[in-house]
Structure 1
Amino acid sequence: MADKLLIPRDQWLALMAELRRRGGGRTESGAFLLGKRQGDRRLFERCVFYDDLDANAYSTGVCILYADAFERLWGICRSSGLQVLADVHTHGGAATQSEADRRNPMIARPGHLALIVERFARDPVWRHRMGLYRYEGSHAWTNLSGWRSRRILNTGTFT
């Protein structure tokens, strides 16, 4: 089983609203989720939106980032002491992984989590309808979507 990804509810709702706003209901939008790991828990602290790393990230209608955007991302991680916990992006239709998603992981490290939100993150966003995939390396993924995702992605209140 994958690590648990914990995102406080208010921050989760703000993230979904911002993905919705940035995509404008017309294009994909996305973000890297940053935070710290404690054992098998990934504790979310902040996100960095793709278009903050590269103003043209959504110009084709899908999320595309080049090397200079990742250089900026690694600089943010170094200066904040945080690490990339996962990435999230929207699709206009279903939250299934596209061939481009499979072949081009945002972070090509085994264990990385990639979330896909259907309908450009329009309300309501249900965790069990999201795509959740764990990268295994060599362009292989484990599909953790559907009701399984609720055991991994927790968007509640934590103590």
Structure 2
Amino acid sequence: MTFSIIATIRAWWAPEHRLSCPQRLWRNIVHELDRRGGRRHEAGAFLIGSTSPEGRRAITGAIYYDELDPKAYASGVCVLHGDAFAMLWATCRARGCAVVADVHTHPGVGFQSHSDRTNPMVARDGHIAIILPDFARWPIMPDRMGIYEYRGDHKWRDHSPRHTPAYFYTGFWS
């Protein structure tokens, strides 16, 4: 019964969200990206969790790029090699979860660079990429972050908070 009450309140409080993350977990992920990047270079993670039958994605954890590939940040930007993806999929299978999004940092505003647009971390229709500004220095101002949904053929839909404020929910009822 507790779960149905939480689901009802969540649906009422954030009815349009497509992606959610508990507030404390989101803050921990952002802090960890800031720490791993040292405010000097990009850092990133795959956000893992589940997808509901309605298509809502719930983040329950993160697997950081440098856990999969120790040289992921060697060039200053996030680059993963093939073996990292094999490890990612094996980890997801073992944990019984899926990749619901990815997140990485940029030095200024969280916009999608040419490299981000042409090299999605997961090139599957519907995959979500989040780009955090200022190398993930807290607090993250929503109007400076980017959220993009991959539509295939290197096309993306912009769900950034400045365009779709209710898309990503990190409140208490996540």
Equivalent in the alignment of 2:115: 100
Match for 2:45 among 31, 49, 64? Answer: 31
Match for 2:155 among 124, 127, 140? Answer: 140
Deviations 1:80-104 (A, max 9, x none): 1100000000001121111110110
Question: What is the alpha-carbon distance in structure 2 between the residues aligned to residue 151 and residue 81 of structure 1?
Answer: 28
Deviations 1:7-53 (A, max 9, x none): 00000110110000000000000000000111231111110000000
Question: What is the alpha-carbon distance in structure 1 between the residues aligned to residue 63 and residue 151 of structure 2?
Answer: 24
- Asked if the contact 1:115/1:130 (under 8 Å) is kept, the reply is yes
| Structure 2 counterpart SS, 1:63 | coil
Identity %: 46
Are positions 1:12 and 2:26 aligned together? Answer: yes
Unaligned runs of 5+ in 1: none
Equivalent in the alignment of 2:84: 69
TM normalised by structure 2 equals 0.87
TM normalised by structure 1 equals 0.95
Question: What is the alpha-carbon distance in structure 1 between the residues aligned to residue 152 and residue 40 of structure 2?
Answer: 31
Query: 1:147, CA displacement in angstroms?
Result: 2.4
- Asked if the contact 2:133/2:144 (under 8 Å) is kept, the reply is yes
Q: Which is worse superposed, 142-151 or 82-91?
A: 142-151
The 1:149/1:23 distance shift into structure 2, 3 A limit, reads farther
The 1:78/1:3 distance shift into structure 2, 3 A limit, reads farther
Question: What is the alpha-carbon distance in structure 2 between the residues aligned to residue 11 and residue 146 of structure 1?
Answer: 19
Deviations 1:86-127 (A, max 9, x none): 000000112111111011000000110000001001121022
Query: 1:142, CA displacement in angstroms?
Result: 1.1
- How many residues are paired up? 158
| Structure 2 counterpart SS, 1:146 | coil
Equivalent in the alignment of 1:131: 146
Question: What is the alpha-carbon distance in structure 2 between the residues aligned to residue 77 and residue 111 of structure 1?
Answer: 18
- Asked if the contact 1:127/1:149 (under 8 Å) is kept, the reply is no
User: Of Structure 1 and Structure 2, which has the larger fraction of its residues in strand?
Assistant: 1
Aligned-residue Cα RMSD (Å) equals 1.4
Are positions 1:42 and 2:62 aligned together? Answer: no
- Asked if the contact 1:57/1:64 (under 8 Å) is kept, the reply is yes
Question: What is the alpha-carbon distance in structure 1 between the residues aligned to residue 76 and residue 164 of structure 2?
Answer: 26
